[in-house]
Structure 1
Amino acid sequence: MKDYALYKRATAWLVGVLLVSLAAQAQARSLPDFSELVEESSPVVVNISTTQLVKRRFGGLPPGIEVPDLPEDSPFNDLFKHFFGDGQGEEREEETKSLGSGFIISSDGYILTNNHVVKHATEIVVRLYDRSEYSAKVVGTDARSDIALLKVEAAGLPVAKLGSAEKLKVGEWVLAIGSPFGFERSATAGIVSAKGRALPRENYVPFIQTDVAINPGNSGGPLFNMDGEVVGVNSQIFSRTGGYMGLSFAIPIDVAMDVAEQLKTKGKVSRGWLGVLIQDVTRDLAESFGMDKPIGALVSKVVPDSPADKAGIRVGDIIVEFNGREVTTSAKLPPMVGSAPVGERVAVKVLRNGKPKQLFVTLGELEDEQVAEAEPGKAPVERTNRIGLAVTEVPAQLREDLDLEKGGVLVTELEQGAGAKAGIRKGDVIVMFANKKVKDVEHFRELVEAAKPGSTVPVLVQRRAGPLFLAVRIPKD
């Protein structure tokens, strides 16, 4: 019996060891091996070094400090003039160098990189995988997408295999190859963290977010999927220190190649233009507009005589579908509009007063736009206490500066109340209240008093940065 018990324990131990070994092997097989991918893909990646002339100020006093007003016969006058001159210093051009990455998209020498890698460059040198170097010229750049197309005089170059960012899945493995801090051919790997990210001032690019380690010098380099296809152009990092912190962003290759083709054939990039300013629909705003859940892009301004204006889109409309594609958040709309051909007639579905409405828009071409800024003027103040605001008529100069139509009221003071809690600020011009255009101070008071106690109403305000909808919860009587 002893021998049998010993045999059972030994067998159980061997089975356990075998299971642990099999589990370890299975886990090892589940983790990707990037060595073959790096070996095959590295030849298409290039190192880009640039030379720029930067204006710098030498000498002079630190900002905020002025040369003291000394008596003419003071012995310190000569001392200050010797070291600081007139206190302003001298502006000179200084040569600086920077590094970036890129990749080859055609065998005859077209190379894709970031606009910010070659911006203001007076000389661009491209180094290939075999250490050969070429002087590159800029075919074209596009600041909105941060894409630049370069050309070197060469033939028979290895070409990157292009994929599609549309097919990427969150959680999928991806690989970046570039020159972080000048260390050439550095490979880093991670997963796709999210898709369609909108970044501040980058509304026309639906970025791919990854946790791939990207650092200065990686900019412009390719992001590969596991099939060795380029799915993105590494562009930005989110960092509080200047180094990698787990958030990296790449331009989808579909967007980058569309830009590159337009730069190559037309020398510039044309984007569709709708002519609206939009914002996200928050939970409170959704409630104020009678929606079951927050969705879509809320129109806070329609540019006069724009495609949207001609199509009948109004302030307060919520765009929920564009050209057959669902608009889940306001960030989704600009890339959709920008990528649509200029002059194309597209269907736009909006929610107006809680009801769906189908419109058709013929898109214009996006041009540079400016936002007017102004300081509030002074006028006699009228007060409404129900939501804690003091308002007055909008001064003529402010109305002209902000390009406002007739109507509206200027917020001059705030008390603790529903208005302040909703985010209304001193200096805001209230244009609409509860989906009605505000005619004047008396009309505004009537609208506020008529609002149902305990309800949430949408309020459109005009600020220096542009129009904005806010949700005000009316106090219960």
Structure 2
Amino acid sequence: MIRPLFKHLAPLSLLALSFGTALPAQAQVQGTLPLQQGMPSLAPMLKQATPAVVNIAVTAKSEVQNPLLQDPFFRRFFEIPDEPQERESQAVGSGVIVDAVKGYILTNNHVVDQAETIKVRLVDDREFDAKLIGKDPDTDIALLQIKADNLKALVVADSDKIEVGDFVVAIGSPFGLRTTVTSGIVSGLGRSGMGTGYQDFIQTDASINPGNSGGALVNLRGELVGIPSQILSRSGGNIGIGFAIPTNLAKLVMNQLVQYGSVERGRIGVGGQDLDPALAKAFGLSSTRGAVINQIMPGSPAEKAGLKSEDIVLKVNGREISSFAQLRNIVGLMRVGEKVDLDILRNGKPRTVSVVIGKAEEATVTGGKDGSGDLHPALAGAVFAAVDEATAKRLRTGGIQVREVAPGSPAARAGLRPDDIILSVNRQPLASVEQFQRLAGPKAGELLLHIQRGAGALFLIIR
């Protein structure tokens, strides 16, 4: 048992004993970490790893959110143009070089989202303009490219092989402090529920703060195992709960961004839920690992492949799953036309079903300025869709989500913002895009929208 060791060994000694065999042969010294001036040290590994972690500076323009500027009388009195007022903002983050030849840099989508310019600074102080190859908000991954010589890239490890308790090191630029290194362990695996999109986070207590986003989480070999993305905090600072995107997920997204410039979501057309103890007992199962299918969409790939409601999915392409979210994540990151093998239990008997991934279709509606669109003319310039499953589960509500708002459009001037969730129209709760279209159609009069925005809510009148 390792627990009693903590009572008798200093943390540094434990680190040395635990990871002597995990390092390359040339770095091992009598079963300890490499010696630096007679003491175990991570410095030799970091000298090799840190040149691959870069600082990213972003310049973006954002609309000024001043309530006075929404008042037509105020705008006319002070002769303010009837156009959105913008201001330039700057932000910093981190990135990690994963291909030294092609100059590819992985970072977070939220680091470069809405960026006008992106500059990358290397450890040796060279600075380059970066090209955005593509980004995927659902996984919070973005791919940049720079043209530079003598780049250093990190080896990308198989993140499926890491275990809870493995030591890891986070490298990035928290609060603009370049090339900052913090250490900790892997605290948990397969974390989700921290927001929308596709999530399979590595949890770590290595200190992650604003500015670390997009940097590197490495093992003691200096291999990349994750991309720091989020923290759980009440103050905005680190409290020992940080989350990184595993490299296997990041590689899937990166490959699609390189080849297609975007990620095309796949689907098989099933609804499902996790197996809790009561469901497992009802189905005669001894374990709660897996996901039960409770709905098959008509005409879907799942129906064509012969999947049925009450099938229990145990493995996806040979990988065991413990929740329906894992099934959704794996399928959602596969390309349309690929085949996925599902190991299932049907009436207690095992079988394998192969399903060809179909395209994830989403009903969306827009407004037209001349009244010819799907919605009220004052909603022109915005794209609306049903609240995705992850958001609905997190907020415990339905509604319609504002996916896009064009700057300067009627919808923007009316006060709508991307990611707003419209809960009701004229006090009628929303359950579908079709209902929203009926209530807020092109011939509708004044609309009263109940909107949830972040942690708050407001009413908005549309005329």
TM-score w.r.t. structure 2 length?
0.66
Structure 2 contact 68–74 (Cα < 8 Å) conserved: no
| Deviation at residue 342 of structure 1 after TM alignment | 3.4
Structure 1 contact 60–90 (Cα < 8 Å) conserved: no
Structure 2 contact 386–399 (Cα < 8 Å) conserved: no
Structure 1 contact 60–85 (Cα < 8 Å) conserved: no
Instruction: Provide the rounded CA distance (Å) in 1 between the counterparts of 2:188 and 2:362.
Output: 29
Q: Of residues 42, 49, 55 in structure 2, which corresponds to 1:41?
A: 49
Instruction: Provide the rounded CA distance (Å) in 1 between the counterparts of 2:271 and 2:254.
Output: 28
Give yes or no for the alignment of 1:223 onto 2:200: no
Aligned twin of 1:30: 17
Aligned twin of 1:344: 338
Local SS of the residue matching 1:117: helix
Aligned twin of 1:154: 148
Root-mean-square deviation over aligned CA pairs: 3.5
Local SS of the residue matching 1:335: helix
1:272-305 Cα deviation digits (max 9, x unpaired): 4222222212222333444333232122332222
| Deviation at residue 266 of structure 1 after TM alignment | 2.1
Structure 1 contact 222–230 (Cα < 8 Å) conserved: yes
Distance 1:191 1:368, change over 3 A: farther
Which amino acid in structure 2 is aligned with residue 92 of structure 1?
Q
Q: Of residues 158, 170, 180 in structure 2, which corresponds to 1:164?
A: 158
Aligned twin of 2:312: 318
1:204-231 Cα deviation digits (max 9, x unpaired): 3422111111111000001111011111
1:87-120 Cα deviation digits (max 9, x unpaired): xx98411111111000122234221111110000
Distance 1:155 1:318, change over 3 A: same
**Equivalences for residues 403-418 of structure 1 within 5 A:** none
Instruction: Provide the rounded CA distance (Å) in 2 between the counterparts of 1:246 and 1:102.
Output: 21
Instruction: Provide the rounded CA distance (Å) in 2 between the counterparts of 1:37 and 1:30.
Output: 17
Structure 1 contact 57–91 (Cα < 8 Å) conserved: no
Aligned twin of 2:353: 359
Give yes or no for the alignment of 1:100 onto 2:93: yes
Local SS of the residue matching 1:105: strand
Local SS of the residue matching 1:57: coil
| Deviation at residue 58 of structure 1 after TM alignment | 2.8
Structure 2 contact 132–144 (Cα < 8 Å) conserved: yes
Task: Give unmatched runs, 5+ long, in structure 1.
Answer: 1-21, 68-79, 376-396, 403-477
Which amino acid in structure 2 is aligned with residue 338 of structure 1?
G
Q: Of residues 181, 201, 208 in structure 2, which corresponds to 1:207?
A: 201
Distance 1:169 1:84, change over 3 A: farther
Distance 1:202 1:226, change over 3 A: farther
Q: Of residues 293, 301, 307 in structure 1, which corresponds to 2:301?
A: 307
1:109-133 Cα deviation digits (max 9, x unpaired): 2211111100000011111111111
What number of residue pairs does the alignment pair up? 346
Structure 2 contact 110–140 (Cα < 8 Å) conserved: yes
Instruction: Provide the rounded CA distance (Å) in 2 between the counterparts of 1:143 and 1:267.
Output: 13
Aligned twin of 1:292: 286
Distance 1:346 1:138, change over 3 A: closer
Which amino acid in structure 2 is aligned with residue 256 of structure 1?
A
Local SS of the residue matching 1:60: helix
Structure 1 contact 374–401 (Cα < 8 Å) conserved: no
Local SS of the residue matching 1:332: helix
Distance 1:60 1:287, change over 3 A: same
Which amino acid in structure 2 is aligned with residue 190 of structure 1?
G
| Deviation at residue 26 of structure 1 after TM alignment | 5.0
Structure 2 contact 399–432 (Cα < 8 Å) conserved: no
Q: Of residues 231, 235, 241 in structure 2, which corresponds to 1:237?
A: 231
Which amino acid in structure 1 is aligned with residue 65 of structure 2?
R
1:412-461 Cα deviation digits (max 9, x unpaired): xxxxxxxxxxxxxxxxxxxxxxxxxxxxxxxxxxxxxxxxxxxxxxxxxx
Aligned twin of 1:130: 124
Which amino acid in structure 2 is aligned with residue 103 of structure 1?
V
Which amino acid in structure 2 is aligned with residue 210 of structure 1?
T
Q: Of residues 18, 27, 50 in structure 1, which corresponds to 2:58?
A: 50
| Deviation at residue 171 of structure 1 after TM alignment | 0.5
Structure 2 contact 137–197 (Cα < 8 Å) conserved: no
Q: Of residues 111, 121, 136 in structure 2, which corresponds to 1:142?
A: 136
| Deviation at residue 340 of structure 1 after TM alignment | 4.3
Which amino acid in structure 2 is aligned with residue 131 of structure 1?
D
Local SS of the residue matching 1:350: strand
**Equivalences for residues 326-475 of structure 1 within 5 A:** 326-368=320-362, 370-371=385-386
Which amino acid in structure 2 is aligned with residue 183 of structure 1?
L
Task: Give unmatched runs, 5+ long, in structure 2.
Answer: 1-7, 19-32, 34-40, 364-384, 388-397, 401-429, 436-463
Identical aligned residues as a percent = 42
Distance 1:299 1:47, change over 3 A: same
Q: Of residues 87, 107, 113 in structure 2, which corresponds to 1:119?
A: 113
Structure 1 contact 198–206 (Cα < 8 Å) conserved: yes
Structure 1 contact 59–90 (Cα < 8 Å) conserved: no
Instruction: Provide the rounded CA distance (Å) in 1 between the counterparts of 2:256 and 2:75.
Output: 55
Structure 1 contact 276–301 (Cα < 8 Å) conserved: yes
Distance 1:224 1:308, change over 3 A: same
Aligned twin of 1:432: none
Distance 1:23 1:151, change over 3 A: closer
| Deviation at residue 252 of structure 1 after TM alignment | 1.4
Distance 1:27 1:310, change over 3 A: closer
Give yes or no for the alignment of 1:188 onto 2:175: no
| Deviation at residue 374 of structure 1 after TM alignment | 7.5
| Deviation at residue 353 of structure 1 after TM alignment | 4.9
1:42-64 Cα deviation digits (max 9, x unpaired): 11111001011110133529x9x
Structure 2 contact 56–118 (Cα < 8 Å) conserved: yes
| Deviation at residue 367 of structure 1 after TM alignment | 4.7
Instruction: Provide the rounded CA distance (Å) in 2 between the counterparts of 1:300 and 1:119.
Output: 37
Aligned twin of 1:249: 243
Mark the structure with the bigger radius of gyration: 1
Distance 1:283 1:227, change over 3 A: same
